Amino acid sequence: MRVKVSKIKVTWVRSTINRKARHKRTIRALGLHRLHESVIHEATPQVLGMIEQIRYLVEVEEVKS
């Protein structure tokens, strides 16, 4: 039996100018390249941990499928 994993939409909304290098790398690791760009990820513990680290730079929404 397979458990359905929810998906989330992550949108980059604040600039990384004068931010920690680690947070800039986290933005790139999530697949974001430009401001106001969005990506969809599965809500795994790894992705949620990355988002928690940069929550002041991004907006997160749940994707209905």
Residue 55 lies in a domain: yes
Please state the separation of Cα 10 from the chain's center in Å.
4
Q: Where are the alpha helices (DSSP H) in 1-65?
A: 21-29, 45-53
What is the number of domains present in the chain?
A: 1
pLDDT tens, position by position, 2-43: 566 799 999 999 999 999 999 999 999 999 999 999 999 999
pLDDT tens, position by position, 36-63: 999 999 999 999 999 999 999 999 999 9
Q: What residues does 18 pair with on adjacent strands? A: none
Instruction: Give the range of the structural domain holding residue 57, as residue numbers without chain letter.
Output: 7-63
Cβ atoms of residues 11 and 59 within 8 Å = yes
pTM of the model: 0.89
Q: What CATH code is carried by the domain that includes residue 20?
A: 3.30.1390.20
